Structure 1
Amino acid sequence: MTLILGHHHLSMITKQAQRNHYFYTDVLGMRRVKLTVNQDEPSMYHLFYADRVGTPGTSLTFFEIPAVGKTYRGTNAITRISLVVSSQESLTFWHDRLRARGMEIESVSSYAGYNALLFEDPEGLRYALVVAESEALRAHAPWDETDVPEAHQIKGIGPVEITVRDGDRIGQTLVDMFGMTKVSEGEQETVYRAVLNDIASEIIIKQQAGEVERPGRGSIHHLALRVKDEAALRQIEDKIQERFQSSGVIDRHYFKSLYVRETNGILFEVATDGPGYLVDSDEASLGQGLALAPKLEPQREAIEKALIPIDDK
């Protein structure tokens, strides 16, 4: 039995925080649940978007790096994120909404066996909106300060696509280290799940030779997987230490986590469900104002001085 409960969040790179904020709040209708900084590099914004309260499994996070260049796509990278919606009508809604905002999208089609809509964000980050049911994402908390109707809101993270040179090695890691199960295997891709009947724990492995991706704006930095609490995280840490060297457990204020990079160079984080984004904020003011982990509070004046303010309107 796996300790992994599904996807916790994904972290990406953006060149411009203001533009990023606009797209994920005004276009995708997500709530910005945390405006903070990279705890390891506090001169850098770290933006979190999710459902109303930041339910585990709904968060997309972005590091702002103003000097970053373009992404040169290739292998050994996390290459596409799926976001779950409730119905075929939702795909039609999003097709029309994204087109109306001048975005190039593919017609309603399929992805990984799901009815889907494929598109890219303004920085080239690849997405699939997929129609599926998910036990984990039934906890989704609707956000009422968006013009996206509740019936069509993004419920959370679905299948995550990873492209690698050595599919067997990463598959072994997913099974042995994270307790996942191989649920299907084809010529083009192999699918693993931590929770067998839940799309919110699905990882799609594609094998591809060639040049390794050179990350830039719109690239995916890492995938974080969910565990219930620190006790489960420590058990995962023990399992990881049998094959890899991890970061050890780190207190990220909103959750505790550890990081490990597997053989193909894919960076995984494992993060606890709690205490969550409400640990330093009430629900009404979530995502407003610069939030800092306690260890960074003594540096607040210098940190705020170095950041370009984001217009929330």
Structure 2
Amino acid sequence: MAAWLVLAKAGSKRISEGYDDNPATHYSWDSTVPNHATLKVGDVIALWDGTELLGLSVIEDIETGQAEKETPYCLKCERADVAERKRKLPRFVCWNQVCKHEDDKAGWKTKQVITYRSRHEAGWIDARGTLSAPQLRALCVRQASQNSLRELRWNDFHHALTHGGVPLPLRVIDTTQQVIAQGHGTATIRVRKGQPAFRKHLLEVFGEVCAFTGPAPVQALEAAHLYSYAANGKHHKGGGLLLRRDLHRLFDLGLIAVNPQTKTLHLADELKKYPDYARLHGAPLTVAVTGEHVKWLTKHWDMHRPHTSVSAIPHQPSPIKSLPA
């Protein structure tokens, strides 16, 4: 498994780069950055601000493009190792250990670059307060590296997070990677062809009702597929329910599942520490479902609860009867 430590700090990257990083959702870089083409969908991405770890997730998608970029260079050695000082003068200094030229100006040239933008919102785990800068550097494959994209030793990084002073459960990372590998990774953030019509159909069938919590503002409801849309490629009429955005994401990640026999909610243990979610454990669906829905819910259950028998969970009868298939 590949894991990357990436720097997300205002002003930390080179002059004029203009990135729009948002640690919890996306990260941007271009082909002037070492290791630029090495990051892949399914890799772990850990973001830090130069001081501490901010959080980590799994790369769901990488968008690429092309752009023109102005890059500075040293007027003496003509290398692109130029940093802009905030306080000390002269304003520019060359990073090259042989040159170290200081100047009030820098040279500039325009070049074509490949742009990259990762998306990693679904599996984001906030990790502030867990690992410091020295600890993170020690976990890199090349500990002395100054690159913005640095490869981590995944096993050691995982152990440091789960056995450190502030243990961090990483099950969501494992689940997200599994879901992405099975073609279901961007369900919570991608707008897919036919999705508006699919949502409209669900609103006509169920009304403005979240299937897990009941009536909700229409603006908060999303059309949730009960199956892997990316792998299946179709919008099945019996394959969707309306869910609140947060519950949609948790369902996609398997942190919430529906017992297909009892039609009650089953929460992963890490959600039960949050009162608002904990009360949903064992709660019945708030809408009537068909046999087609149950078929897809069974597939979802088998994927995310492979070692949990549906018959082993106490039955809590729902006051709402299922519609005929």
TM range (shorter): under 0.3
Indicate the structure (1 or 2) with the bigger Cα radius of gyration.
2
Q: Which has the higher contact order (CA 8 A, sep 6+)?
A: 1
In terms of fraction of residues, the more strand-rich structure is 1
